[in-house]
Structure 1
Amino acid sequence: MATRPLSTTVSRYQRLNLSRRRGNAVRQSLAAAGVIESVTIVTRSGQVVLYQLTEFGRTVCSAAGVELKSRPRESLEHSFWVNRTAEYFEKKGFEITREHVIKGNGAIDLLAVRSGESVAIEVETGKSDIKANLSHIKRCGFDKMILVATSPAAVSACQKAIESVGDSSSGTIKLLTWLDIS
């Protein structure tokens, strides 16, 4: 979980050569001790449950000599949907760059390029300043911008932000949802 937070339970158990019974016992023990916590992500076909280290878990790992990356800037849910979105656009023939730096001291989640068309893609959980992000990205000269909303609340927030930056009819900003890409 420290090095592969987006790994599913099944793939983690296979990689670690654990039976379901033993893997579940270890996972439940770590959760009960407050070392890990679950993050449930709703998808089109149901849900995915991922696990991440708690602050206590990060402390335990550090004390045990496990090398950790710095605390992620984004939530596990956001990381999950950025990965899913990248896969979705790669299947559509786009070349993807993650965390593409843009002018004005920032970065977009994904840059998708195909046939000379550049598309800025932002995954929105509804917890950021979507309007400010859109305004900033809009000035960077991308051919299109796509917001991927990860929940009904994020859809509403994205719709309001699109309307507030005055792009609800021009079509340069498109809204997709988790249902579109999962």
Structure 2
Amino acid sequence: MRNLKSIAVALVALFAFTANAQTKKINVSKSGIVWTGKKVTGSHTGTINLQDGALVFKGKVLKGGTFTVDMTSINTTDLKPGQGKESLDGHLKADDFFGTEKHKTAKLVFTNISGKGNGLYTVTADLTIKGITKAITFDIVVKGNTASTTLKVDRTKYDIKYGSGSFFSDLGDKTISDEFELKVNLVW
């Protein structure tokens, strides 16, 4: 009987939370992700598209979020056609990197959110790339109907070891940084 009472209390609390929560669907055409990958001799930048996403609020307080990224949309923007753009885009989509033929999407699901004041939150989330899920922590700023963040992702945690000095010696100036950066701007 005591367990039934505990379950009933939990269900009422869950219903109360979801009844007061508002899900804000992300406008993927107005939102964007810019990536930067660095190597010893420079860096490359590009874009990648959100497939869908939503943030959950209780009042004006951020309470949750989930996003799906279209990995097949990886696009290098600092190179022009004929200057290596096609080669780099193809390599990023190949199994050496993101393996987009098998892993068409990546997913980010908020698991813990801590408010810091003035619309600033620290988020811990599960990030899934190439079928591998790891926790990642980042700050996000929410202002009006927008949110922005910069994430640093260690690609080697997702079995992306190509050109990593952490796994291969004698790479010299062909060494690629283990971390890449994602600048995310969300609009709903």
TM-score (norm 2): 0.26
Q: Which has the larger radius of gyration?
A: 2
Q: Which has the higher strand share?
A: 2
User: Normalized per residue, which structure has more helix?
Assistant: 1
TM-score, with length taken from structure 1 = 0.26
